[in-house]
Amino acid sequence: MNKYKFSFELECPNNSQRIAYQAEITVDRVIMVENIASFFLSYTAAYHEEIADASYETFGGYQVITAHHHGVDVETTRGRK
């Protein structure tokens, strides 16, 4: 298994506040790191759950995406561990 971790920031689509994210993708194949970076950095503002759905559709595997927004920790998982 390969585990890829990527940190990024986006604007909240509701109030433009910056949100710090951490994405972790675990797959049994190779993903080019440039593809991971360009995928997440293609967003300027989006809802956490929409990003998680699109990332899972693009990369598959098992994914955990976390964020801290307005004092709330949000964690989404997609796929099976």
Interatomic CA distance for residues 20 and 7, integer angstroms: 7
Interatomic CA distance for residues 10 and 12, integer angstroms: 7
Number of domains making up the chain: 1
pLDDT of residue 39: 98
pLDDT of residue 81: 80
Per-residue pLDDT tens digits for 13-28: 999 899 999 999 999 9
pLDDT of residue 70: 85
Per-residue pLDDT tens digits for 24-75: 999 999 999 999 999 999 999 899 999 999 999 999 999 999 999 888 999 9
71 conformational bin, left if phi > 0, alpha if psi -120 to 50, beta if neither = left
Range of the domain at 35: 2-78
